[in-house]
Chain A
């Protein structure tokens, strides 16, 4: 029943779009870095409460985990910074296309070699077909 997880990932993308659209407006008012900070600040409070009451995992693992597995937040911040710098220079459309292409290449390479904690899943013809179709779609949309 893995299809459920594809739907969840689609929903994640929808959430990202809505988030981006609203933060675009908020960013005009309070500043871009400031609206990103708000996201992480309020998000920490919300998810902190949820973990407190419903968390079944082990937050304590954080202190035993290999340090590189703690870098998710840093990478997210670097991503945001790159966007803040490049959007005014290349435009939203081109920036989106570049990010998406970077994402597709990186994720296939990461999985192919089993880097950064991902299980190995070799690149196959279906995945290459999918990437080619995504390129066509990007061309049509932008």
Chain B
């Protein structure tokens, strides 16, 4: 039962990768900003419907929410835009792994200082070791990608 649930959650990650790939392809023809806009626009329409049918909160409370919390949208836009810029250049795999690393590293810092009102989880040796391991992973992704680029560019020079 639990395994089923984890498999279900894993599908969430599959959706993200599929989204990156599709948006990367779309942005090549329509432009990165335009692709970001389309994703936000269609996402807004879908969520508006979702709220109409399943919303349990209160959208109007947004008007009373602390202003600094509303600034999160700037990070939301940056995330999508940067991903759309990176994917066509380095591919979905490298972009996903680099994004995950940035996310986890920032998450650890946010946990450590308890920023934005969350729970404080101090950095420890294990987490630092995890960070270093991720940097090593990033190096291998980079090497795996550039190796192919090198052979591709030498091929084109040969021809």
The reply to whether B73 and A72 contact each other, CB–CB distance below 8 Å, is no
How many chain B residues touch the partner (CB < 8 A)?
A: 120
Encoded as 1 (CB less than 8 Å from any A CB) or 0, chain B from 10 to 50 comes to 11111111111111111111111111111111111111101
Query: Which residues on B sit within 8 Å (CB–CB) of A39?
Result: 72-73, 76
* Interface of A (DSSP majority class): helix
| A141 to B130 alpha-carbon distance, docked (Å) | 6
Query: Which residues on B sit within 8 Å (CB–CB) of A116?
Result: 18, 21-22, 25
| A137 to B47 alpha-carbon distance, docked (Å) | 34
Query: Which residues on B sit within 8 Å (CB–CB) of A74?
Result: 42-43, 46
Which among A37, A78, A90 is the interface contact of B2 at CB below 8 angstroms?
Answer: A90
Query: Which residues on A sit within 8 Å (CB–CB) of B134?
Result: 133-134, 137
The reply to whether B12 and A98 contact each other, CB–CB distance below 8 Å, is yes
How many chain A residues touch the partner (CB < 8 A)?
A: 111
Which A residues are closer than 8 A to B by beta carbons?
2-3, 5-6, 8-27, 29-44, 46-48, 50-51, 54-59, 61-62, 65, 68-83, 85-86, 89-90, 94-95, 98-108, 110-111, 115-119, 121-122, 124-127, 129-131, 133-134, 136-141
Can you identify 7 A-B contacts, CB atoms within 8 angstroms? A26-B70, A37-B47, A73-B42, A74-B42, A103-B96, A110-B21, A125-B144
